Structures are given as structure tokens and as C-alpha cells.
Amino acid sequence: MGAANVPSHTLAAELLLMHALGRDRTWLYAHPEEPLDSVAAEKYLALVARRAAGEPTQYLTGKQEFWGLEFEVTPAVLIPRPETEHVVEVALERLRARRSNEPNTPLRVADVGTGSGCLAVALAHELPRAEIFATDISAAALEVARRNAVRHGVADRIHFHHCDLLRGLAHESRFDLIVSNPPYVARNEAADLPREVREHEPHAALFGGATGVEFYAQLVREAAQLLRPGGILILELGYNLLDHVRAIFDADVRWTNVAITMDLAGIPRVIAAERAD
């Protein structure tokens, strides 16, 4: 796979071998001399060939870790990235600061464009008194998210809605928290994406219109209508979109306490704001 310029090809080869054998990393390193039978060898070589042709490792193994939890992933959903964990971190920090005097009060949370359900499930895992509403325009993505909610024992607290952004939740009571990792890649930047992303991940979850900022404007407007006073909106930011998204908040008097969180590479990754009282 190195000859095919596969990123992190040694790790990919290891993960695919574990998948072909149905074994974990501990077993693999404890049995370095274990021969491969013909069935496992054929399966492994087929997986390697598919990875060398551009298919993401996560789609080949059907899983990806996020927030310390293992999620099922299929080509119907965006592969969860470590950077998106900052959305969970900021949400928990904001809630902790606002709810220090009432930590056991029930919460109403919405996850917009839930995809694999990684944000909804992670928040349900961390907030046992939260009722969560997860939306997605893709019915296939919602099926994956439902299975992940069942896998992690939180399906009874997550309601899945097949709709665009927040439009299917207009009849619900006000929310305390809304989070989203929206599509934010500009259409004209498709050629700059890695082949694995451009050719295999769902375009509806990747591309945010001509400039990449289109979803933010609509989402900020809808969130302002559905958050209770003091409610929190937290959005993942696309590369170089900070100024554009910040301007959306600054132009609307309904928002206050706007703040930016950098990722480990020093890139603006998350923007958070609160609905003014």
C-alpha cells in the first residue's frame, strides 16, 4: 500500500489484518509467527487491494473509534474525525459552566446532520439525563446512527428525525443545546480533498455549497428560533471559514458569548454561542 501512496499504510495494513483474522491487536502482537490460512490470506489480500485502490480503511472494517466508543461506519455516513471530539468537549464545558447549580436538571439536545450518530451517542453517554433529537437528510445515515445508539445502550434517549437541518423539530419544545458538524467543504475545493474522501465519503455530508458556508447561515437562523434563552449552539468549523461564520453570529443580536476553540494543530475548529436572554 505504500507504493499506492496510502496514508498511514502500515497502520492500515495492521487494521485490515486484524479485521481479516477477527482478532484484536493484543492477539496479533502475541502471535507474530501464527500462519495465515488460505481463507484469511485471500480475504486480507482482497482488503489490501481495495484499500490501495482508494477505499477508506474504516469502510472496509466497518468501524471507527470516536470519544472512546466504537462506531459502525458505512459509505452512507461521514467517517468520524478526532477533531470533531472538540464539539463534545466544548458542549460539556459550556453545560458545566451554566448548570453548576442544577447539574441534575433534564436536558434537551439536538444533533443536526447526525451521520453515524457519533455526536448524539457521545453526548448521550456523557449526559445521562439528556433527551436527544438527531436529524439527518439521509435515511440510510439514520439507520446507521440508530444501530450505533443501540450498540451503546442509549437508543431509548435518542429520537431520530429524517429532515433537513432543524426543520423537523419545529413542533418540539425549546432546546438547551444544539450541536452540528455541518457540510462545509466548498464545491470548487473537491479536487483538493484526498482521494479517499472525495471518491468514497457521502457528498451530502461533505459539501456545503459553492463557498462552504451556506449551511451555517441557515442553521444559525433555525437554532435561534429553537434554543431557549441561554441555550447553546456549537458548530464545527471548516478550514478558513471562521471569519465568515463569526460574521453570521455578529450580525444577529440574538447571540452572545461567542467563542472559538482551536484544535491541536492550532486551527479554529469549533465556534460556540449562546441564545441571548
Beta bridge partners of 111: 134, 179
Nearest to 64 by CA among 110, 24, 15, 27: 15
**Amino acid identity, position 30:** A
* Parallel, antiparallel or unpaired: strands 255-262 and 69-72: unpaired
Nearest to 90 by CA among 215, 226, 262: 262
Q: Which three cell numbers stand for residue 76?
A: 452512507
Q: What was the pLDDT predicted at 3? A: 56
Q: Tell me phi and psi for residue 220, to 5 degrees.
A: -65, -40
Q: Write the pLDDT tens digit of every residue in 94-151.
A: 999 876 666 678 899 999 999 999 999 999 999 999 999 999 999 999 999 999 999 9
Does the pLDDT value for residue 41 go beyond 70?
A: yes
The CA distance from 32 to 174, in Å, is: 56
Residue-wise DSSP of 45-59: HHHHHHHHTT--HHH
In CATH, what number is assigned to the domain containing residue 262?
A: 3.40.50.150
Q: How many domains in the chain?
A: 2
> Do 43 and 165 reside in the same domain of the chain?
no
Q: Model-level pTM greater than 0.85?
A: yes
In a domain? residue 59: no
> Do 160 and 224 reside in the same domain of the chain?
yes
